[in-house]
Amino acid sequence: SFIARRNGESVIISTLPPVAAEMGAMQDAAGRAGGNFYFDRADLVSRDITLREGNPLVVKAYLSLSAREAFLEFDLLQVQIFLISIVAIVAILLIGRVGAQRLSTPLRQLAKKAARIAEGDFKQEIQESKSIAEIGELSRAFVSMQQGLAEREEKILYQSSHDVMTGLYNRQFAITRLDQLLADTENSAGFLAVVINVRQFKLINESFGHQIGDLCLMEVAHRLWRHYPDTIAARIAGDEFFLVIPKTGGANELLLQLENHLSGECQIDSLQISLRFSFGVADSSRDGDSASQLLERASIAQDRARREQDAFVFYDHRIEEEHKKRILLLNDLKGALSGESEQLHVYFQPKVGFADTREYRFEALLRWIHPEQGFVSPEYFIPLAEQAGLITRITDWVIEQVVLHLADWKSRGLTASVAINLSAKDLARPGILDLITLLLEQHGLPAAALSFEITESDIMSDAEAAIALLHRFRGQGFDVAIDDFGTGYSSLSQLKHMPVSELKIDKAFVLNLDSSTDDQIIVRSTLLLARQFNLKVVAEGVENQQSLSLLQQWGCHWIQGFYLSKPLPARDILEWMASKPASLANAG
C-alpha cells in the first residue's frame, strides 16, 4: 500500500481491499503490529517505509501480511495448551475431592463416635478403616479407648453402688433398688426389709483381729448370696447388713429360715467362730412406702433387738417413739452434764465388812432427777450414755464429785473409801489414771480413798488395753473389783490374769439367796474360788438377815444391800458415819 498525506488528506493506493489497507495503516500508527495472543493481535502485520517526508507531503509504503495466517500454528498450539490445562485442572480437582473424601469420611465418622462416647455410649461398633493406615491406627486407638472407658465406668459404677469388701450392694444402692421394687406393682405381696446385725462382732474383732473379723463378714455376705441370690442384699455399716425378702410366706417362718441360713459356725483356718445375729424387721405392706423409711424403721427395730438381746424385733410405732425419746433424753443428759441445773447427784451406798475395821466404804451411784420426768434409772441412762460416747464425761464428773465429798469428810476427821464404777470406754483412755492421781493429790487424799468397779464384759471388750491399764491402777495402790461377777462370759482361768483385788457377786444371785438353792451353790462356789485366788468378796443386793447370815457363814468379806442401807445422798452420809459402825464386828 502507498499512502500519501497532505494537510490532513490522504490518498491510498493498495493491493489490499480498501478497508484492510486502511486498518494496516492505522495499526502502524498505533505502533505495535501484534501481541502474543490471538485477541490482541492485528489482522495484518505491516512494515512501513517512508518514501518522502517533507512538508506538507508525506509518502509512505506499507508491506502487509495477514497475521492470522502467520500465527495460525502458534494459535492452535495455544488453544491446545489451554484445553490441556483445563482438563488437567478439572482432573486434579476431581482427584483431590475423591482423596479428601476418603480421608474425611472415616474421620467424620470417628468424630461422631467420639461424641457418642462422650455421651456415655460405650457399646457402639467402631469399624477399622483399612484403606489408610493412619486412619486404621486411629480407629484402633478409638476402639481401645472405648473399651478402657467402658471398663473404668463399669468399675466406678460398681464401686459407687457396692460394698467393696463383700461385693454386696451399699446402703444407697440398696435404697435405690428397693424403691424401684416398690414402684413395681406386680410385687403386691410386699417385702420384709430386714436389718441384720452380727452380735458381739466387736468382740470377734478384738479377740481374733480385724482380718478374721473381715473374713467373718465376708462369710455372712456369702451366705446371703447363696440363699438370697435374686433379691436385694447390702452391707450398710461395719457389722450391719440389709436384706429384702419377698413375702412368699409367713413373716415368722421367713425370718426363722433367714436365721437358719445365716447362723452356724464360721470356719476360718483352725478357728471356729459362732455367728449370732439380731434382726430388725419392717414390713412394706404396713411400715412405710419408701425404701429409706423401711430401712430406717428396720434399723430402729434392730437397735431394739440388739439392746434387748432379742433375735427378732418387728417395727412398731411404739419402738420408734421410744427411740426418739431416748435421743431426746440423751440430749437432756448432755445438758445436765454441762448445765448448772443440778440434776445429777452422786449417792453413796455403804458396803459393810464383817472383819474389824474403822474404814467406811461406799459405792458411788449416779442419780439423775430429770426436770420433767423425775427420777431416771441409771440402768436406763448409763447404757445410753455408753452407746452415745457420753460415759467418759459422766465418769469424770462422778470422780470429781466423789473426791470433793471425800475431801469434805476428811476435813471433818472422817476417813472413807469410795468405789467408782468404770465403763469399757474409761479403760480405753490411759490418761484417766493421771487425772485421778492429780485430783487426789490436789486434795491431799491417799490412793486408798478411791477404788474402782468394772464388769468382766467391759474388761473383755478390749482386754489387752484394759488389763494393762488396770495393772497400772493396782500399781498406784488402787483396789479394783470385778463388778456383776457371774453374769459375764469370762472363764475362771482368765480371772487369774486379771489385776483385780475383789469380786462383787451380782445381786441377781444374792437377792433370793435365802430361798434359792441354785443361788446358794453359785455364791458358795464363787466364795471358794475367790479364796483360791486370794480375792476379797463383796455381795451386793443383800435384802434380809438370812442372806446376810449365810454370807457371813461362808466367809464373804463385805455386804452391800437395802438390808443395810439404800444408796444415800451425800448429806446423809455424815449422819451414817456418826451413827453406824464401819463394820459389823464393831457392832458388837
CB of 388 to ligand C2E, least distance (A): 13
- Compute the C-alpha angle 430/427/469, nearest 5°: 55
Residues 6+ apart with CB under 8 A from 487: 455, 456, 506, 508
Q: Which of 402, 421, 394 is nearest to 330 (CA)?
A: 394
Classify 288 in phi/psi space as left (phi over 0), alpha (psi -120 to 50) or beta: left
Of 300 and 498, CB closest to ligand C2E: 498
Residues of this chain that bind ligand C2E (CB under 6 A): 349, 364-366, 377-379, 382, 398, 421, 423, 453, 483-484, 507, 540-543, 560-562, 567
Contact partner at residue 379 from ligand C2E, Ca ion, none, CB < 5 to 8 Å by partner kind: ligand C2E
CB 391 within 8 A of CB 426: yes
Give the count of residues interacting with Ca ion (CB under 5 A). 5
Q: Which of 421, 423, 455, 583 binds Ca ion (CB under 5 A)?
A: 421
Contact partner at residue 541 from Ca ion, ligand C2E, none, CB < 5 to 8 Å by partner kind: ligand C2E
Of 56 and 389, CB closest to ligand C2E: 389
Of 454 and 577, CB closest to ligand C2E: 454
Q: Which of 219, 296, 303, 453 binds Ca ion (CB under 5 A)?
A: 453
CB of 498 to Ca ion, least distance (A): 16
Q: Does 239 bind Ca ion (CB under 5 A)?
A: no
Q: Does 458 bind Ca ion (CB under 5 A)?
A: no
Q: Is 203 exposed, middle or buried (0-12, 13-18, 19+ CB in 10 A)?
A: middle
HSE of 364, CA atoms in CB hemisphere, 13 A: 31
Of 208 and 562, CB closest to ligand C2E: 562
- Which residue reads 419377698 in cell numbers? 246
Of 511 and 582, CB closest to ligand C2E: 511
Start-to-end Cα distance in the chain: 179
Grid cell for residue 205: 474383732
CB 247 within 8 A of CB 182: no
- Which residue reads 492470522 in cell numbers? 68
Q: Distance (Å, rounded) from C-alpha 22 to C-alpha 118?
A: 81
Residues 496 to 555: which contact Ca ion by CB under 5 A? 506
Of 240 and 506, CB closest to Ca ion: 506
CB 556 within 8 A of CB 531: no
Of 142 and 562, CB closest to ligand C2E: 562
CB 536 within 8 A of CB 496: no
Of 462 and 483, CB closest to ligand C2E: 483
Of 238 and 335, CB closest to ligand C2E: 335
Q: For strand 277-283 and strand 450-455, is the pairing parallel, antiparallel, or unpaired?
A: unpaired
CB of 511 to Ca ion, least distance (A): 10
HSE of 279, CA atoms in CB hemisphere, 13 A: 24
Beta bridge partners of 268: 271
Q: Which of 294, 350, 272, 288 is nearest to 538 (CA)?
A: 350
Q: Does 349 bind Ca ion (CB under 5 A)?
A: no
Q: Cβ atoms within 10 A of the Cβ of 244, count? A: 23
CB of 226 to ligand C2E, least distance (A): 42
Of 35 and 339, CB closest to ligand C2E: 339
Q: Which of 219, 287, 456, 484 binds Ca ion (CB under 5 A)?
A: 484
Q: Does 426 bind Ca ion (CB under 5 A)?
A: no
CB of 530 to Ca ion, least distance (A): 16
3-state secondary structure 284-334: CCCCCCCHHHHHHHHHHHHHHHHHCCCCEEECCHHHHHHHHHHHHHHHHHH
Q: Distance (Å, rounded) from C-alpha 217 to C-alpha 215?
A: 5
Q: Does 479 bind Ca ion (CB under 5 A)?
A: no
Q: Which residue number is nearest to Ca ion in terms of Cβ? A: 453
CB of 375 to Ca ion, least distance (A): 19
Contact partner at residue 142 from Ca ion, ligand C2E, none, CB < 5 to 8 Å by partner kind: none
CB 288 within 8 A of CB 282: yes
Q: Which of 303, 462, 479, 483 binds Ca ion (CB under 5 A)?
A: 483
CB of 484 to ligand C2E, least distance (A): 6
Residues 173 to 202: which contact Ca ion by CB under 5 A? none
Grid cell for residue 42: 492485528
Of 82 and 380, CB closest to ligand C2E: 380
CB of 383 to ligand C2E, least distance (A): 8
CB of 261 to ligand C2E, least distance (A): 37
CB of 430 to ligand C2E, least distance (A): 18
Q: Is 482 exposed, middle or buried (0-12, 13-18, 19+ CB in 10 A)?
A: buried
Contact partner at residue 567 from Ca ion, ligand C2E, none, CB < 5 to 8 Å by partner kind: ligand C2E
Contacts with Ca ion, residue ranges (CB under 5 A): 421, 453, 483-484, 506
